[in-house]
Amino acid sequence: MVAALWPLAAGHLLAMLAVILPFALLVAFVEWQRQVQIGAGLLIIGFGIFRLVHRRHPRALARIRPTQLGLWSFAVAIAHGAGLMLVPIYLGLCRGADLDKGHEAAGTLMNADLGMAVLVSVVHATAMIAAGGCLAWLVYRYLGLKFISRSWFNLDTTWAVSLILVGAVALVLSLADLERSS
């Protein structure tokens, strides 16, 4: 079980980098920044709506060999929008007049560069794999595999709605900022 954590982490990290890095490169085009921010907000909203409408998971991802675990993690993370929730923060769409200590990280990301995008992806993947690995071990050790088959729940709707909400907030903030600057 512990050996599976590394391929899972690698796949998730690559999925986030595949999503965040293109946006990080787009930020370099300063004259198009507002349009990119609006497009990213629309992309996040669109993906959330897509996830609400198309709830079925591809059958091909249901059974995989251990040697393909990293590829599976990448595919599932991309399919579930890994990294999309971080794009509005990275692009500076989440602004606050006065950030408290808990939001200083978001403030740092607002003026970040490509290195920060990589750092955010690594920290997120590390936190995700640590939390997921601990929970998997606890369920396996104390509840057993029968618990999973009997009590499985699906958070796809919550995930899709959260994508739509974050995209909508990002879009509203971008459009308001665009009107202020006009």
pLDDT per residue as tens digits for the range 97-115: 544 555 556 556 655 666 7
Range of the domain at 116: 2-181
Domains contained in the chain, number: 1
| Least confident interval from 27-36, 40-49, 71-80 | 27-36
Q: Would you call 101 exposed, middle or buried from its count of C-beta atoms within 10 A (0-12, 13-18, 19+)?
A: exposed
46 pLDDT tier (thresholds 50, 70, 90): very high
Q: Would you call 125 exposed, middle or buried from its count of C-beta atoms within 10 A (0-12, 13-18, 19+)?
A: buried
| Least confident interval from 18-27, 36-45, 57-66, 99-108 | 99-108
Q: What is the mean pLDDT of the chain?
A: 77
Q: How far apart are the first and last CA of the chain?
A: 56
CB 156 within 8 A of CB 51: yes
> What is the rounded (10 degree) CA torsion for 31, 33, 39, 42?
-150
Q: DSSP H helical segments within the chain, as ranges?
A: 5-26, 33-53, 69-79, 87-90, 104-110, 114-138, 145-151, 156-181
Here the tokens at position 35 are: 């349009």
Highest mean pLDDT among 69-73, 80-84, 132-136, 157-161: 132-136
Nearest to 52 by CA among 136, 167, 132, 130: 167
Instruction: Give, in degrees to the nearest 5, the angle at Cα 132 between 110 and 153.
Output: 105
Helix axes 69-79, 5-26, angle to 10 degrees: 40
Nearest to 12 by CA among 91, 124, 159: 124
Q: pLDDT at position 71, please?
A: 82
The pTM of the whole model exceeds 0.75: no
d(CA 11, CA 140): 22
Q: What average pLDDT does range 132-154 have in this prediction? A: 81
Better-scored residue on pLDDT, 13 or 88: 13
> What is the rounded (10 degree) CA torsion for 121, 47, 169, 20?
20
